[in-house]
Amino acid sequence: MAYTVLVPIDGSPQAQNALEYAIREFPDATFVALTVLNPAELSAGGTEMGMASYADRWLEAEEERAEERFKQARALAKEHGATLEGETVLGRPARAIVDYAEDHDVDQVVMGSHGRDGVSRILLGSVAETVVRRSPCPVTVVR
């Protein structure tokens, strides 16, 4: 049975570092790059053409960004002879990552940490910390 490593990617340097680490540390694994589209980001949306129209445009733009991230991630994986699948889900990032790991029998999660501390961590929460606490499998956090 193949070892499956889930790597959440959001376009950040930390996510890139996590993917590079995962490929280096688990060379024989199958990788899943997961992008979570958070509908909470719509709260700052426009109302000129109506919320539904704005939501559709937002979703389309986010899916295009995700596809570009997957393209870059696949290229990196290919350089190392690895296999990488791209998946996009809607939801709150921490919950979506944990749910995906549970539903798809993921063996390992490798994710980047944005390294927030102090007040910003308290106010914004920590996706990585929540995933570490709730994940059904081991989690490696790369800084």
The string of pLDDT tens digits covering residues 66-76 is 999 999 999 99
The string of pLDDT tens digits covering residues 95-126 is 999 999 999 999 999 999 875 665 555 544 68
Alpha carbons 28 and 4: distance in angstroms, whole number: 9
**CA–CA distance from 38 to each of 93, 106, 130 (Å)?**
7, 22, 16
pLDDT score of 53: 82
Query: Which residues have C-beta within 8 Å of that of residue 115, sequence separation ≥ 6?
Result: 14, 143
pLDDT score of 31: 98
Using only the alpha carbons of the chain, give its radius of gyration: 16
Q: Percentage of the chain with pLDDT > 70? A: 85
Domains of the chain: 4-142 (3.40.50.620)
Alpha carbons 2 and 29: distance in angstroms, whole number: 6
pLDDT score of 47: 52
